[in-house]
Amino acid sequence: MPLATVNPATGQTLRTFDALDAREVERRLAAAEAAFRTHRTTSFAERARLLHAAADLLEADEREIAEVMTTEMGKPVTQARAEAAKCAKAMRWYADHAEELLADEEPAESDIKDSGASRGFVRYRPLGPVLAVMPWNFPLWQVIRFAAPALMAGNVGLLKHASNVPQTALYLEELFRRAGYPEGCFQTLLIGSGEVESVLRDPRVVAATLTGSEPAGRSVAAVAGDEIKKTVLELGGSDPFVVMPSADLDRAAKVAVTARVQNNGQSCIAAKRFIVHTDVHDAFAERFTAGMKALRVGDPMDEETQVGPVASERGRADLEELVADAVEHGATVLCGGERPDGPGWYYPPTVLAGITPEMRVHHEETFGPVATLYRAADLDEAVAIANDSPFGLSSNVWTRDEADVDRFVRDLEAGAVYVNGMTASHPAFPFGGIKRSGYGRELAGHGIREFCNITTVWQGA
């Protein structure tokens, strides 16, 4: 894939970029190694000062960078501004909490004595340059949620961003430079996916984090495993949205619409499979379908637009193929399902009912505004349908019955369970999945410790 800004609202290529040559990649790897030697010794206060400065700059740039993101990948500009604001908030959160999250930990005094030590503790130390392979769908947030904790831990970052968001990638490097970070602390590598392996195999790169597709995750994990390097993977998701009889149906249906079409439906944690108890299925389906039909689809630069285009022509074709396969196998289209005329890679909000395991859409992720609707006879069947997926990123449950809540929290195969609310990410809560959704965690204390050397310190008498 060429490194280019292609506006998905028009299909026009606006800018192209040359990939870095081998000499420049080598220079940047050397700069990262040199920067780590110094950055690892800085105080938490100095790291926090720099990260606060970057957050302030990002906040000032909010409108400008939002338009860049919308131009490159098509999200409604109002959502792009919200993404920028969320990034600034997360940066400040890590600046303010990292020292506490990485404070030395002491075992019980009795255990220290039993080990024969006069003193013992655990210290979190930085690892070194970390390679981040990041996707286009949240081109700021996906990077910041890696970069903020990594830099506060004393690591340095190398960003290989998606090839269709090069301007956002370059902005991120410039943001940290403007904030006062020394050269080499955070660098963007404008390279193709074929160059990732050589960078990851370089001994100066100590670990990697990837958010993206399952094939990309397999590739990076295989190389890192061969090199015995730590990885964190956040891959696809096909999150269930379960509605039980005690739920507030009006609220559940309203949130369900937002949960499905946020970011034009291109979110790993977007609700995708709507599993509704038979007692309330028809009432929910009516409300949900009406809400999907009412969405305003259009120019993502328009302040009133709720759903813009999907990010690529291939992405739209994938949606069309999944919908066509479902219909061929007996699914009913409650709304949408047909490509609109005109330029750009638009696809309408779509609801499919009568989903069965024979359909591709039952097992594959729909990365766009397509929802699948299931009828469950009882709680047991709802759990079974929810877990009948290769993915396990997050989940949503709507019920006012605490016994239901306890059962879903116990049995749903996912990295998160959101009750009476939409899945979202917040710096105070760990984020990640199980099964083919990946492993490891981002955000919170769990995320900042992923790329630390967890060091035992034992001191004799």
Q: Please give the full DSSP string across 92-151, using - where no structure is assigned.
A: HHHHHHHHHHT--B---HHHHHHTT-SEEEEEEEE--EEEEE--SSSTTHHHHHHHHHHH
First to last CA, the chain: 61
**Cβ-contact 155, 450 below 8 angstroms:** no
Within a 13 Å sphere around the CA of 408, how many CA atoms are in the beta-carbon half? 29
* Integer Cα distance of 189 and 268 in angstroms: 24
Estimate the crossing angle of helix 77-101 against helix 62-73, to 10 degrees: 120
- Torsion sign over Cα 245, 251, 254, 257: negative
- 31 phi-psi bin (left φ>0, alpha ψ -120 to 50, beta other): alpha
Q: Is 268 a catalytic residue?
A: yes
Considering the candidates 72, 83, 87, 268, report the single residue annotated as catalytic. 268
Neighbours of 103 (CB within 10 A): 13
Neighbours of 218 (CB within 10 A): 13
Q: Which amino acid is at 325?
A: D
User: 103 CB contacts (<8 Å, ≥6 apart)?
Assistant: none
Q: Specify whether 234 is catalytic.
A: yes
Closest CA to 276 of 396, 447, 437: 396
Contact 189, 160 (CB under 8 A): yes
Catalytic residue among 234, 364, 365, 442: 234
Which residue spans within 412-451 are E strands per DSSP?
418-419, 434-435, 438-439
Residues with catalytic function: 234, 268
